[in-house]
Amino acid sequence: MNGNFSRIVGTGSYLPAKVLTNHDLGRMVDTSDEWIYTRTGIRQRHIAADHEATSDLALAASRNAIAAAGVRPQDLDLIVVATTTPDMVFPSTACILQSKLGVRRCPAFDVQAVCSGFIYGLATADQFIRSGQYRHALVVGAEVYSRILDWKDRSTCVLFGDGAGAIVLRRGDAPGVLSSHLHADGSYAGMLSVPGTVCGGKVSGRPLLHMDGSGVFKFAVRVLDEIVEETLAANRLKKTDIDWLIPHQANIRIIHATAKKLGLSMERVVVTVEHHANTSAASIPLALDEAVRDGRIRSGQHVLLEAVGGGLTWGAVLVKW
């Protein structure tokens, strides 16, 4: 399939203007900056304004990625949005984003894999491009987690923030996305969930985030180690061949554990959790955009993206920049 490889040719991100610091949270719930930072590595998070929907955050990030790629919205052949917090039940946030971009006719759909959503979305778009069907694809991770948090539960409300990140993929002759590896185990569904539904116009259950923190931590450290080994083996690479690790920004302890397993110094790990917190599907593209724009990621480098999310889902994508 000569010529049917996908490369990331543009990145973009957006963070809402409002910043909520740990000190601010200390006035809302029984916590402190020291308590949060020592356990999570988080200092602050961004919170969407009342008028901002997930599609609005996605739009701003997408425009930045499209501009960086040097293409027009009309050049897009596919739009994939990874989100756990869609604008509404339906239509998809991807279709709403498509309209806001002024694009018509190209396929647009959402992917729901929680914090692994961007990895799932990137893998999906890559396969469409490899098939030869499309030339340009927009992949977005966008979330407004502030609206599904219990702001009285210090074990969860301190962890999350709002934001969006996006990439543009282009078909080319040289491999950019080298491989993708996706997994899920639904038997762990209750470990991380928002157990609420809408029926007859009324909310049933509790539509706020529930998490078994210690259970997720143990699971994440184990499967991230496994997915790294799987990815390296598939590409016949050694751990020392990885130039940059861009993990899901959930918790600095998980990030440290994953880097240690890889034998990577933290200087080779892109960390944004301190100022973004956990933005779920948006966290990897947000971190990727930051590292691309500040010049850390350069041509020819191997970049490993990996995440664990509700489902439980997990996955990795290896990229040659």
Same domain, 18 and 166: yes
Its domain, for residue 167, covers 5-174
Residue bearing the bigger pLDDT, 282 or 175 = 282
The tokens 């498509």 sit on which residue? 98
| Known catalytic residue at 115 | yes
Same domain, 17 and 164: yes
Beta bridge partners of 47: 18
Q: How many domains does the chain have?
A: 2
pLDDT of residue 261: 84
**CA-derived radius of gyration, the chain:** 18
Nearest residue to 180 (alpha-carbon basis) of 223, 244, 248, 120? 120
Average pLDDT, the chain: 97
Q: Rounded CA gap, 41 and 292, in Å?
A: 22
Supply 294's token pair. 């500040």
Same domain, 44 and 67: yes
Mean pLDDT value across residues 3-26: 96
Same domain, 220 and 145: no
- pLDDT band at residue 142 under the 50/70/90 scheme: very high
Same domain, 130 and 224: no
Is 55 within 8 Å of 93 (Cβ atoms)? yes
pLDDT of residue 136: 98
Mean pLDDT value across residues 185-211: 96
Above 50 in pLDDT, residue 1? no
Above 60 in pLDDT, residue 43? yes
Above 80 in pLDDT, residue 121? yes
Is 96 within 8 Å of 85 (Cβ atoms)? no
Is cis: bond before 232, omega within 30 of 0?
Answer: no
Same domain, 10 and 159: yes
Same domain, 100 and 240: no
User: Catalytic one among 64, 248, 251, 276?
Assistant: 248
Same domain, 167 and 20: yes
Above 50 in pLDDT, residue 62? yes
Q: Which of 174, 200, 232 is the last residue of a domain?
A: 174
Q: What sign results for the dihedral spanned by CA atoms 49, 52, 58, 62? A: negative
Same domain, 135 and 186: no
66-101 confidence digits (pLDDT tens): 999 999 999 999 999 999 999 999 999 999 999 999
User: Catalytic one among 22, 64, 251, 278?
Assistant: 278
273-314 confidence digits (pLDDT tens): 999 999 999 999 999 999 999 999 999 999 999 999 999 999
Q: Rounded CA gap, 8 and 291, in Å?
A: 14
pLDDT of residue 262: 85
Q: Which of 139, 157, 174 is the last residue of a domain?
A: 174
User: Catalytic one among 115, 136, 251, 276?
Assistant: 115
Same domain, 26 and 97: yes
| Known catalytic residue at 157 | no
Q: What sign results for the dihedral spanned by CA atoms 159, 160, 166, 169? A: positive
pLDDT of residue 2: 53
CATH of the domain at 24: 3.40.47.10
Same domain, 229 and 136: no
Q: Rounded CA gap, 129 and 256, in Å?
A: 34
| Known catalytic residue at 248 | yes
pTM here is 0.97
Beta-strand relationship, 136-144 and 78-82 = parallel
Same domain, 208 and 225: yes
pLDDT of residue 115: 98
200-232 confidence digits (pLDDT tens): 999 999 999 999 999 999 999 999 999 999 999
What DSSP line would sit under 149-197, residue for residue?
A: --TT-HHHHTTB-EEEEEEEEEEESS-SEEEEEEEE-GGGGGGEE--EE
Q: Which of 174, 200, 228 is the last residue of a domain?
A: 174
